[in-house]
Amino acid sequence: MTRKIIRTRREDLPSAEEFEEMVKPLLDRLFAVGRRLTGNEKDAEDLLQDTLLRAYRNMEKFELGTNLGAWMVKIETNLFRNAYRQKKIRPGRTDFEIAEAFHEEARCHESPDRLPTEELLDDEVLRALQEIPPEFRAVVDLAVFEGFSYAEIAEAIGCPIGTVMSRLFRGRRLLREKLREYAERTGMQIES
């Protein structure tokens, strides 16, 4: 399919049908992002729905020549963060004390715990993601799964790069800890 060029003059903005054609190839990616953020397919579908509408109504803000998928992922992440703030999406347990404990560990420059070495399954990753605070989850998702640079994440969520790095560090450590706990419970091999 030929990629359409988005023009930012208002009279040249795509119709709903044209927009739909443009975003069809992005739906799998946007759904996967939403699923990791919300933890279930129903909320992911709603989040994707809101993302499509928000993007379509703000097409004049889309910069010509930039990545449409990345722009929509940013919108989706921000919608999730706003929804979380308004408690539309109820997050899993958020344990900031655990996060702080990991932060302290980082200050001591200790070696992190050993990692599960077997293949990780989608549902266990999804479950572990839901057990870390949403603000950390969003940053981990953008960096690890979506390959955003720190600067892009900072711009997307409106935080300084230092905050992004801090959240990313804590989020990764928490995610790993959750996966390690899960691996121990299910008898998965852990490197010693």
Is residue 112 a contact point for other proteins (CB under 8 A)? Answer: yes
The string of DSSP letters for 105-116 reads HHHTTPPPPP-B
By CB neighbour count within 10 A (0-12 exposed, 13-18 middle, 19+ buried), where does 57 fall? exposed
Per CB under 8 A, 82 contacts other proteins: no
Q: How far is the CB of 96 from other proteins (least distance, A)?
A: 20
Nearest approach in angstroms of CB 101 to other proteins is 17
Told to check if 41 binds other proteins by CB under 8 A, we report yes
| Rounded Cα–Cα distance for residues 41 and 54 (Å) | 20
Is residue 19 a contact residue for other proteins (CB under 8 A)? Answer: yes
Q: Bridge-partner residues for 116, per DSSP?
A: 190
Dihedral (Cα; 161, 165, 166, 169), 10-degree rounding: 170
Binding string to other proteins for residues 117 to 146, with x set by CB under 8 A, is what? x-xxxx-xx-----------------xxx-
Report d(CA 137, CA 156) in Å as an integer: 14
What is the contact surface with other proteins in residues (CB under 8 A)? 10, 16, 19-20, 24, 27-28, 31-32, 35-36, 41, 45, 48-49, 52-53, 56, 106, 109, 111-112, 114-117, 119-122, 124-125, 143-145, 147, 149-150, 165, 168-169, 172, 175-176, 191
